């Protein structure tokens, strides 16, 4: 399958989601299988052979690069073009985009892109396009689809950590820089853990960004506005594993500050 056909089938799946169908395989719409042991798979788009944990029962499979390509380009465009200083607002614009699947590690790029975009617009720290590229490169190494269940680490955790690492100048062997970065990832992980069962990438983004904003203020003295409390989530019908509904703080919540 060439890239053009992949994009076409992706749009068809997105249209199915918009009409109320459960989003699953981006190629045919079938419910995906989540494996406990990896199996040999071949990407339906680029032909790459690898070991995978998520597959379509019809034989379709997309590697991380092909699965994320369209979404990451959209995230990059919004990140570099937004004028907002509110990372929550930026993230919501990304999560409502038709190119974005309901679940997936594209949300790790959303969390990082929204945070860095807001920081760049706030202006206390100079955030360059090179910083965005570096953070996205780091995310690619640690945010892998399905690994939230296989290793217990959601890709949003290292995504937020990568942002703070850039800001703090953290590398292996540093002292407070590395410790403070680890504090960030610990607190983001705690926020995510409280929302698990089943997992929801959109809820995780919404819970992680206020934590990041709080730590930016505490550790770097940078204040960003964020209006997460007013979110009314409208994605409940599209969750392939079943929305947590009333157990989720964002479930059709009325818009109030």
Q: Are residues 213 and 97 in the same domain?
A: yes
Domain count, the chain: 2
* 9 and 87 fall within a common domain: no
State whether 58 and 98 are in the same domain: no
Distance, CA of 251 to CA of 233 (rounded, Å): 5
Q: Are residues 224 and 106 in the same domain?
A: yes
* Last residue within a domain, chosen from 24, 42, 62: 62
Same domain, 99 and 185: yes
On whether both 173 and 48 belong to a single domain, the answer is: no
103 with 208, same domain: the answer is: yes
Is position 183 within any domain? yes
Residue 139 located in a structural domain: yes
Nearest Cα neighbor of 113 from 185, 187, 163 is 163
Local mean pLDDT, 10-residue blocks, the chain (257 residues): 37 35 72 91 94 92 88 93 96 92 94 97 94 96 92 97 97 95 98 94 96 96 84 88 92 59
Q: Which residue has the tokens 């918009």?
A: 18
Domain, as residue range, for 55 = 3-62
Count of Cβ atoms closer than 10 Å to residue 22 Cβ: 15
Q: Is 116 found in the same domain as 18?
A: no
Does 53 share its domain with 71? no
Which of residues 29, 47, 62 is at a domain's end?
62
Q: Which residues contact 19 (CB under 8 A, 6 or more apart)?
A: none
Query: Model's pTM, two decimal places?
Result: 0.84
Give 151-169 pLDDT, tens digit per residue.
Answer: 999 999 999 999 999 999 9
């Amino acid at each position: 399958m060439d890239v053009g056909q992949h994009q076409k089938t992706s749009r068809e799946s997105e249209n199915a989601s918009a009409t109320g169908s459960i989003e699953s395989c981006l190629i045919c719409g079938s419910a995906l299988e989540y494996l406990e042991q990896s199996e040999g798979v071949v990407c339906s788009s680029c032909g790459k052979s690898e070991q995978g944990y998520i597959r379509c029962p019809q034989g379709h499979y997309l590697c991380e690069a092909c699965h994320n390509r369209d979404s990451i380009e959209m995230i990059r465009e919004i990140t570099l073009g937004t004028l907002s200083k509110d990372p929550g607002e930026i993230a919501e614009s990304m999560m409502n985009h038709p190119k974005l699947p309901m679940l997936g590690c594209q949300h790790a790029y959303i969390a990082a892109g929204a945070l860095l975009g807001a920081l760049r617009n706030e202006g206390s720290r100079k955030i360059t396009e090179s910083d965005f590229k570096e953070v996205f490169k780091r995310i690619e190494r640690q945010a892998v689809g399905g690994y939230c269940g296989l290793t217990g680490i959601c890709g949003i955790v290292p995504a937020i950590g990568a942002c703070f690492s850039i800001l703090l100048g953290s590398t292996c062997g540093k002292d407070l820089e590395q410790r403070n970065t680890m504090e960030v990832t610990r607190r983001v992980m705690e926020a995510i853990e409280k929302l698990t069962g089943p997992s929801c990438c959109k809820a995780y983004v919404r819970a992680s960004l206020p934590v990041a904003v709080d730590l930016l203020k505490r550790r770097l003295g940078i204040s960003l506005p964020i209006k997460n409390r007013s979110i009314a989530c409208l994605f409940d019908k599209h969750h392939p594993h079943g929305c947590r509904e009333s157990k989720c703080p964002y479930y059709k919540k009325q818009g109030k500050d």
